[in-house]
């Protein structure tokens, strides 16, 4: 039986839980502290991520999402203790701008589904967070403190998670190698640049994206920021201006 999740170790108390059988190749991250674990994103929800997490830790788990899109909160149903940014609370309460049929179509698109999986049972997670996050809030796991950075652009309440002690940056959908999406009505290309300015200024040693290649270096933060700056200079940093290819990444505006 083929496994849905692939587990990789970053260090002894940090793991990557990936969904390579779906074209989006979503990565979730389990950060273990002395008292708690933080699960950054929970994937599509096609398979039970909590079973994988229990193999890695027996500590209480707090779930957070880089943003409230289906491919990042699908496993939140297993974690009643979850945090979310204030700007996307309405998406957790029936106001997401896409229909469930549209979401289900994207869930099964280019996906090696588990045997006998019925996409008609797929639901978009809804719920009330136990904590509402704001820019600069910290999450203390016990000997390990993670800072939430509000980085809108891909979505209104998008968060990156910064661990200054290790210089780890978990970038969600703001930064990854492939085509960045900034064309939806709920995206904001100008805010995207402002967010890239924030994270490019950090002393990052390792970048951990939510999708695709894990072979990604901190220098890409500066390249993306500079490309967005140039698009602004050229008057192209707006919806409808097209797709711009920079080799190992692109952006669709």
Q: Does pLDDT of 7 surpass 90? A: yes
8 A C-beta contact, residue 27 and residue 10: no
**Res. 2 pLDDT band, cuts 50 70 90:** confident
What span, in angstroms and rounded, lies between the C-alpha atoms of 5 and 181? 24
What span, in angstroms and rounded, lies between the C-alpha atoms of 109 and 200? 33
Q: Which residues contact 29 (CB under 8 A, 6 or more apart)?
A: 10, 14, 15, 16, 17, 39, 40, 41, 170, 208
Residues 200-247 pLDDT 10s: 999 999 999 999 999 999 999 999 999 999 999 999 999 999 999 999
Residues 178-191 pLDDT 10s: 999 999 999 999 99
8 A C-beta contact, residue 20 and residue 5: no
Residues 113-166 pLDDT 10s: 998 899 999 999 999 999 999 999 999 999 999 999 999 999 999 999 999 999
- pLDDT of 163 reads 98
β-partners of residue 209 are 172
Residues 38-50 pLDDT 10s: 999 999 999 999 9
What region does 178 belong to: left with phi over 0, alpha with psi -120 to 50, or beta? Answer: left
Residues 73-109 pLDDT 10s: 999 999 999 999 999 999 999 999 999 999 999 999 9
pLDDT (average), residues 52-80 = 98
Q: What's the token pair of residue 228? A: 């967005």
- pLDDT of 229 reads 98
pLDDT (average), residues 18-29 = 97
Q: Does pLDDT of 112 surpass 80? A: yes
Q: Does pLDDT of 1 surpass 80? A: no
For the chain, what percent of residues have pLDDT higher than 70?
100
Rg over CA atoms, the chain: 17
**Mean pLDDT value across the chain:** 97
Task: Write the CATH number of the domain with boundaries 6-176+204-215.
Answer: 3.60.15.10
């Amino acid at each position: 039986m083929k496994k849905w999740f692939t587990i990789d170790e970053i260090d002894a108390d940090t793991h990557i839980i990936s969904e390579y059988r779906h074209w989006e190749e979503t990565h979730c991250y389990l950060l273990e502290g002395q008292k708690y674990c933080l699960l950054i994103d929970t994937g599509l929800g096609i398979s039970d991520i909590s079973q994988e997490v229990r193999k890695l830790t027996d500590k209480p788990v707090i779930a957070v999402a880089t943003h409230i899109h289906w491919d990042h909160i699908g496993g939140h149903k297993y974690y009643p203790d979850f945090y979310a940014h204030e700007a996307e609370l309405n998406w957790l309460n029936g106001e997401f701008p896409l229909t469930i049929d549209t979401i289900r179509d994207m869930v099964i698109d280019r996906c090696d589904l588990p045997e006998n999986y019925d996409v008609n049972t797929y639901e978009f997670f809804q719920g009330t967070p136990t904590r509402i996050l704001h820019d600069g809030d910290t999450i203390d796991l016990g000997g390990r403190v993670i800072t939430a950075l509000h980085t809108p652009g891909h979505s209104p309440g998008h968060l990156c998670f910064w661990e200054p002690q290790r210089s780890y940056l978990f970038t969600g959908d703001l930064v990854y190698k492939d085509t960045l999406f900034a064309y939806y009505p709920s995206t904001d290309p100008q805010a995207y640049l402002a967010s890239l300015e924030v994270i490019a200024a950090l002393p990052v040693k390792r970048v951990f994206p939510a999708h695709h290649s894990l072979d990604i270096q901190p220098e890409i933060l500066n390249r993306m920021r500079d490309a967005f700056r140039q698009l602004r200079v050229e008057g192209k940093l707006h919806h409808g201006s097209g797709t711009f290819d920079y080799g190992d990444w692109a952006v669709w505006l």
